[in-house]
Amino acid sequence: MSAVIEPILGRYLRCEIEGRPHRIYFEEAGAGIPLVCLHTAGSDARQWRHLLVDEQITQQFRVIAFDLPFHGKSNPPEDWEGDEYRLTTKTYTATIRAVCAALGLDRPVVMGCSIGGRIVLNLAIDHAAEFSALIGLEAADFQQPWYDTTWLNRPDVHGGEACAALVSGLMSPDVPPARRQETLWHYKQSGPGVFKGDLYFYRVDGALHQKTPTGG
Amino acid sequence: MHPDRAPPIAGDAEDHVASVLARLPHLLDSDPRLVARGRFLSADCLIGTQAQAVHLRIVEGRIVGLETGPRLMASWHFAYRATPEAWTAFWQPLPKPGWHDLLALTKRGAARLEGQLHPFIANLQYFKDLLALPRGEARP
């Protein structure tokens, strides 16, 4: 097999989010309408690697996928002192808007999966004018918990293995094995308490079922 | 299942689940990679249906004991008990969404997880894969 270098370009962006200095890793490929892709809880922008090399998409869109702070190659904020990580609607919204502004994006499309699919609903409710489209994948305005997230960050449980094992239930049994392993590998690599902290947004802070129209 | 109801009586459906579970030691022995993933796990579990559950003794990832209940004064770390319908759906070669995963079954109320959950959670993928082993078997 001859070597192939994919067209994805990865860079680091230093910017302030809610007044705190951050260093955010992002990848991009393509040209055209900016399409900002939001990864799921407990994982990172590697999830978008197939979209980033899709020729049809990248011919029309500048696909941008960034790692939220604490995820992938985006560190926690510079002034983080080790407090328990908890994603909030306020911070998640501010992060997306700060990254879009720092990259100089003009009314981008924002597409998110899972917690990303939830936050686009918040963006639609509160900041619709800043975006030309908002796309939710595997999105829900509310998720009834079905397990205790305390298990995800304890010294007597391997958090990475536990996160991946829980997420494995969200995958169809017939997913191609290589894709299954790759997806779960990312969850296994997430930082201590990060998946748990993201789920705080999904299940508690960001619950939207009282804000979205009934029957939706 | 209402806690005040008389315990259910095992019928053909429950017996079938127990007989499938009884094949787990053999199925597990044929999967050395799965055994290796459980090498730090030793636990006693109660697995099956409300009326008819199987006591599994796991030592270092291998099933060293299996007894179909009831057992007098048996101890177990955790119990996972589902309806016969749930097990049948779970063991389909390609199960339907919502019936494909142990925690999907608890989520929909078709299964109950009880007891000291640490060994279950700390070895979650092992248990998911162990209890899915019958999926690979040819239908009788």
β partners of residue A133: A109
Interface test with B, best of A138, A143, A144, A147 (most B CBs within 10 A): A147
Give the pLDDT confidence score for residue A145 in this predicted structure.
84
Sort out which chain B residues have CB atoms less than 8 A from A173's CB and list them.
94-95, 100, 132, 135
Nearest to B24 by CA among B38, B13, B4: B38
Interface test with B, best of A143, A144, A158, A203 (most B CBs within 10 A): A158
How far does Cα A105 stand from its chain's mean position? 18
Has residue B2 got a pLDDT over 70? no
CB contact under 8 A, B125 and A164: yes
Tell me if B125 is assigned to some domain.
yes
Tell me if B59 is assigned to some domain.
yes
Tell me if B4 is assigned to some domain.
no
Instruction: Name the burial class of residue B95, with classes exposed (0-12), middle (13-18) and buried (19+) by CB atoms within 10 angstroms of its CB.
Output: buried
As for how many domains chain A has, the answer is 1
Contact map slice: A 147-166 vs B, CB within 8 A:
147, 151, 156-158, 161-162, 164-166
SS (H, E, C) A156-178: CECHHHHHHHHHHHHCCCCCCHH
Look up residue B58 and give its two tokens: 């796991």
Give the pLDDT confidence score for residue B140 in this predicted structure.
44
Distance from CA of B72 to the nearest CA of A (A): 31
Note down the domain range covering B93.
Answer: 12-132
Give the pLDDT confidence score for residue A216 in this predicted structure.
43
How many angstroms separate the CA atoms of B113 and B43, rounded? Answer: 15
Sort out which chain A residues have CB atoms less than 8 A from B118's CB and list them.
156-157
Contact map slice: A 117-146 vs B, CB within 8 A:
146
What letter represents residue A51's amino acid? L
- List the CATH number of the domain containing B60: 3.30.1050.10
Look up residue B13 and give its two tokens: 């459906």
Q: What is the pLDDT of residues B14-42, one digit of tens each?
A: 999 999 999 999 999 999 999 999 999 99
Sort out which chain A residues have CB atoms less than 8 A from B121's CB and list them.
151, 157, 162
Give the pLDDT confidence score for residue B72 in this predicted structure.
79
Candidates A147, A161, A164; nearest CB to B103: A147
Tell me if B138 is assigned to some domain.
no
Tell me if B93 is assigned to some domain.
yes
Q: Is 0.80 surpassed by the pTM of this model?
A: yes
Nearest CA in chain B to A175: B94
Give the pLDDT confidence score for residue B5 in this predicted structure.
59
Share of chain B above pLDDT 90, in %: 84
Note down the domain range covering A151.
Answer: 9-205
Distance from CA of B40 to the nearest CA of A (A): 12
Give the pLDDT confidence score for residue A215 in this predicted structure.
45
Give the pLDDT confidence score for residue A214 in this predicted structure.
55
What letter represents residue A184's amino acid? L
CB contact under 8 A, A146 and B103: yes
Tell me if B6 is assigned to some domain.
no
Long-range contact set of residues A13-19: C-beta below 8 Å, sequence gap at least 24: A13/A66, A13/A99, A13/A102, A13/A103, A15/A98, A15/A99, A15/A102, A16/A98, A17/A69, A17/A77, A17/A91, A17/A94, A17/A95, A17/A98, A17/A99, A18/A90, A18/A91, A18/A94, A18/A98
Alpha-helical segments (H) within chain B: 12-21, 24-29, 32-37, 84-90, 102-107, 118-122, 124-131
Q: What is the pLDDT of residues B39-58, one digit of tens each?
A: 999 999 999 999 999 999 99
Sort out which chain A residues have CB atoms less than 8 A from B135's CB and list them.
173
Tell me if B2 is assigned to some domain.
no
Candidates A147, A156, A168; nearest CB to B128: A168
What letter represents residue B77's amino acid? H
Tell me if A3 is assigned to some domain.
no
Has residue B139 got a pLDDT over 90? no
β partners of residue A26: A11, A66
Nearest CA in chain B to A149: B121
Half-sphere exposure of A137 (CA within 13 A, CB side): 12
Sort out which chain A residues have CB atoms less than 8 A from B97's CB and list them.
172
- List the CATH number of the domain containing A46: 3.40.50.1820
Tell me if A1 is assigned to some domain.
no
Phi then psi dihedrals of residue A21, to 5 deg: -70, 135
Ranges in chain A, pLDDT < 70: 213-216
Q: Which residues contact A188 (CB under 8 A, 6 or more apart)?
A: A160, A161, A163, A164
CB contact under 8 A, B95 and A173: yes
Tell me if B101 is assigned to some domain.
yes
As for how many domains chain B has, the answer is 1
Please report the sign of the dihedral spanned by the C-alpha atoms of residue A150, residue A153, residue A155, residue A156. positive
The SS3 assignment for B116 reads: coil
Has residue B111 got a pLDDT over 50? yes
Give the pLDDT confidence score for residue B1 in this predicted structure.
53
CB contact under 8 A, B100 and A151: no
Give the pLDDT confidence score for residue B3 in this predicted structure.
59
